[in-house]
C-alpha cells in the first residue's frame, strides 16, 4: 500500500459518532525516516567508535571524553534549538542540524588527531541535539491532539528499530578492523544523515500553515478596514528559563528515571560477561521486541484514560525488572527479564514525551521536546559515571540495585508532584485564583 493510499483513507468513526483524525500522513512518515537516520548515526558511533579509537592508537579514556563531548553538546543545544524552533520554525533548524551531522560524520573519516576529533564530536552532538529536538516537536505538530500519545509511540518505533539493527550493521562494516573500513562507515553515516536532511526538506506542513496564515491575514486585513475592533491573542503561560512551569515536575521524574535506566543500558554487556553469560545479543532483541509491542498498545491507552494508568504500573514493573537483573546468572533468566523490561520502557517513555507536549502550549512544543530530550541526556550523563563508580567500588550487581532505587524515587515523585491528578489540581487552583 502506498503512502498516498494511506492518506486517502477515510477517518474512522469513534464510539461517540465523531470522526477520528488521521494518524498517519506523508509528513509523519518522513519525520519517522529522519528519526531513523538520527538513531542509525548514534548507534553506529556507539558500536564502532571505541574500536576506531583503539585502532588509531587512542586510549579508553579518549572514548569516554568523546562520548561526554557529544552528550554535553547535544544537551546544551536542546533548550536553544527548542526555543528557536518555536520562534522561527522546526524544519529549517532540523535540516541544518542533519547537514551538520552529515559533515561531521564525514570529517571523522578524514581527521585523525585526538584534539580535532573532540571538536568534531562536539559539532556532531550539536547537530544531533538540534535535529532530534526539532523532529520530536514536528512530530507532535502533525499528530492529532486526541491521539498524541499513540502517535508519539509510533514515532519512536523507527528509532527503536534503528537502534536494534544499527550496531550489527556497523560492526559488519568494520569487521576487518582496517582504517578504510572505518572510513567507509563514517562516509555511509554521512550519507544517511544527508538523506535524512532531504526527508526533512520534503516535510511540508510548515509551508502549508504559512500559506494558510497568509491567506487569513489578508482576509483579516481586508475586514479590519470595515470593522476597527481587533481581538488580542490569548497570552501564553509564564516561563522559567524559557520553559513553562508544567514541564518541571515531569522532567525531574524523568531525570531520576534515566539515572537508573542509564546504568542498565550502559553496563548490561559487561555485567553479562562478569556473570559468565556471554553475548547478550538475544536479550537486546527480545527487549526491542517488547518495546515495539508496548509502543503499539499503550499510547492509545494513555490517550483514552490518561497518563497515570500507564506510567505508574509501568514504572513499578521497571523497578522490579532492574532489581531482578542483579540476581541473573544464566542467559535464560536474562532473556526472561528482557520482555517485561522492554514492555515497561516502551510504555513509560513515550507517555512522558506526549505528556510534556500536552501540558505545554502548542506554540512551545519545541521547548517541550527540548525539555524531554535534555532530561534523557542529563539522566544518562549523571547515571553512567555514578553507577560506573559504584561498580568499580563494589561490583556490577550494585548498579542494578542502586538503579532500581533511583527509579523508585522517580515513581514516588511522580505520584506526589507530576501525576495527572496533581496537574489537574494545580490547574484548578490557578483558574480559581485568576477568576478572583
Distances (CA, A) of 42 to 15, 170, 193: 42, 11, 11
Q: Would residue 20 be called left, alpha or beta, if left means φ above 0 and alpha means ψ between -120 and 50 degrees?
A: beta
HEC secondary structure over 300-326: HHHHHHCCHHHHHHHHHHHHHHHHHHC
Cell 553475548 -> residue = 279
Nearest-angstrom CA–CA distance, 120 and 137: 26
Sign, CA torsion 245/250/256/261: negative
| Grid coordinates given for 375 | 532530561
pLDDT at 189: 97
pLDDT at 23: 84
pLDDT at 188: 97
Nearest-angstrom CA–CA distance, 298 and 421: 19
* Cα dihedral value 135, 383, 283, 344, nearest 10: -60
Which element (helix H / strand E) includes 244? strand 243-244
Is the pTM value of this prediction over 0.85? no
Nearest-angstrom CA–CA distance, 297 and 293: 7
Chain-centre distance of CA 389, in angstroms? 26
Contacts of 410 (CB under 8 A, 6+ apart): 253, 254, 256, 257, 260, 315
DSSP state of 414: I
Pair 205, 68: CB distance under 8 Å: no
Nearest-angstrom CA–CA distance, 97 and 158: 19
Pair 281, 398: CB distance under 8 Å: no
pLDDT at 265: 72
**For the chain, which domains are there?**
21-207 (1.20.1250.20), 241-435 (1.20.1250.20)
Q: Tell me the sheet residues that pair with 240.
A: 243
Closest CA to 350 of 372, 320, 370: 372
| Grid coordinates given for 378 | 542529563
Cell 562478569 -> residue = 274
DSSP state of 243: E
Nearest-angstrom CA–CA distance, 198 and 190: 13
Pair 293, 343: CB distance under 8 Å: yes
Distances (CA, A) of 76 to 79, 90, 99, 246, 253: 7, 17, 18, 21, 20
Cell 480559581 -> residue = 432
Burial of 289 (0-12, 13-18, 19+ CB in 10 A): middle
Nearest-angstrom CA–CA distance, 152 and 156: 6
Pair 20, 147: CB distance under 8 Å: yes
pLDDT at 17: 40
Q: 71 — phi, psi (to 5°)?
A: -65, -45
Q: 239 — phi, psi (to 5°)?
A: -130, 160
Give the Cα-Cα-Cα angle 189, 190, 196 (nearest 5 degrees).
90
pLDDT in 10s for each residue of the chain, 436 residues: 444 444 444 444 444 444 457 888 999 999 999 999 999 999 999 888 888 988 888 887 788 788 888 988 998 999 899 989 998 899 999 999 999 999 999 999 898 889 999 999 999 999 999 999 999 999 999 999 889 999 999 998 999 889 888 888 998 999 998 999 999 999 999 999 999 999 999 999 988 888 877 666 656 555 554 444 444 455 777 777 778 888 899 999 999 999 998 777 778 878 888 888 877 878 888 988 999 999 999 999 999 999 999 999 999 999 999 999 999 999 999 999 999 999 999 999 999 999 999 888 888 888 888 899 889 888 888 887 888 888 888 888 999 999 999 999 999 999 999 999 888 888 788 777 767 6
Nearest-angstrom CA–CA distance, 299 and 231: 37
pLDDT at 185: 95
| Grid coordinates given for 174 | 568494520
Amino acid at each position: 500500500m502506498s503512502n498516498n493510499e494511506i492518506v486517502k483513507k477515510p477517518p474512522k468513526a469513534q464510539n461517540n459518532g465523531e470522526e477520528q483524525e488521521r494518524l498517519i500522513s506523508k509528513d509523519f512518515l518522513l519525520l519517522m525516516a529522519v528519526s531513523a537516520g538520527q538513531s542509525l548515526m548514534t548507534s553506529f558511533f556507539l558500536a564502532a567508535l571505541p574500536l576506531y579509537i583503539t585502532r588509531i592508537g587512542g586510549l579508553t579514556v579518549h572514548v569516554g571524553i568523546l562520548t561526554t563531548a557529544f552528550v554535553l553538546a547535544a544537551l546544551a543545544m536542546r533548550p536553544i534549538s527548542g526555543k528557536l524552533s518555536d520562534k522561527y520554525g522546526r524544519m529549517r533548524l532540523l535540516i541544518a542540524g542533519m547537514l551538520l551531522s552529515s559533515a561531521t560524520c564525514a570529517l571523522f573519516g578524514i581527521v585523525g588527531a585526538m584534539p580535532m576529533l573532540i571538536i568534531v564530536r562536539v559539532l556532531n552532538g550539536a547537530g544531533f541535539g538540534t535535529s532530534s529536538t526539532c523532529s520530536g516537536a514536528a512530530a507532535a505538530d502533525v499528530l492529532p491532539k486526541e491521539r498524541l500519545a499513540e502517535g508519539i509511540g509510533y514515532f519512536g518505533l523507527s528509532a527503536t528499530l534503528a537502534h536494534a539493527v544499527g550496531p550489527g550493521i556497523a560492526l559488519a562494516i568494520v569487521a576487518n578492523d582496517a582504517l578504510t573500513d572505518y572510513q567507509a562507515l563514517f562516509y555511509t553515516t554521512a550519507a544517511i544523515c544527508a538523506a535524512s536532511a532531504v526527508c526533512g526538506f520534503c516535510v511540508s506542513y510548515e509551508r502549508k500553515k504559512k500559506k494558510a496564515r497568509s491567506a487569513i491575514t489578508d482576509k483579516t486585513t481586508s475586514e479590519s478596514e470595515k470593522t476597527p475592533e481587533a481581538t488580542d491573542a490569548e497570552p501564553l503561560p509564564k516561563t522559567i528559563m524559557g520553559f513553562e512551569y508544567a514541564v518541571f515536575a515531569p522532567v525531574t521524574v524523568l531525570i531520576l528515571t534515566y539515572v537508573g535506566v542509564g546504568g542498565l543500558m550502559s553496563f548490561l554487556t559487561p555485567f553479562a560477561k562478569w556473570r559468565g553469560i556471554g553475548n547478550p545479543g538475544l536479550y537486546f532483541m527480545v527487549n526491542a521486541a517488547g518495546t515495539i509491542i508496548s509502543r503499539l498498545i499503550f499510547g492509545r491507552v494513555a490517550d483514552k484514560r490518561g497518563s497515570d494508568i500507564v506510567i505508574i504500573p509501568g514504572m513499578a514493573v521497571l523497578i522490579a525488572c532492574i532489581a531482578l537483573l542483579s540476581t541473573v546468572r544464566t542467559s535464560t533468566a536474562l532473556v526472561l527479564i528482557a520482555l517485561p523490561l522492554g514492555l515497561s520502557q516502551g510504555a513509560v517513555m513515550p507517555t512522558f514525551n506526549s505528556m510534556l507536549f500536552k501540558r505545554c502550549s502548542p506554540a512551545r512544543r519545541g521547548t517541550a521536546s527540548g525539555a524531554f530530550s535534555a532530561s534523557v541526556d542529563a539522566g544518562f550523563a549523571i547515571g553512567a559515571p555514578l553507577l560506573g563508580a559504584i561498580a568499580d567500588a563494589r561490583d556490577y550487581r550494585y548498579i542494578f540495585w542502586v538503579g532500581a532505587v533511583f527509579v523508585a524515587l522517580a515513581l514516588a515523585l511522580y505520584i506526589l508532584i507530576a501525576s495527572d491528578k496533581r496537574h489537574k489540581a494545580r490547574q484548578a487552583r490557578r483558574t480559581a485564583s485568576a477568576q478572583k
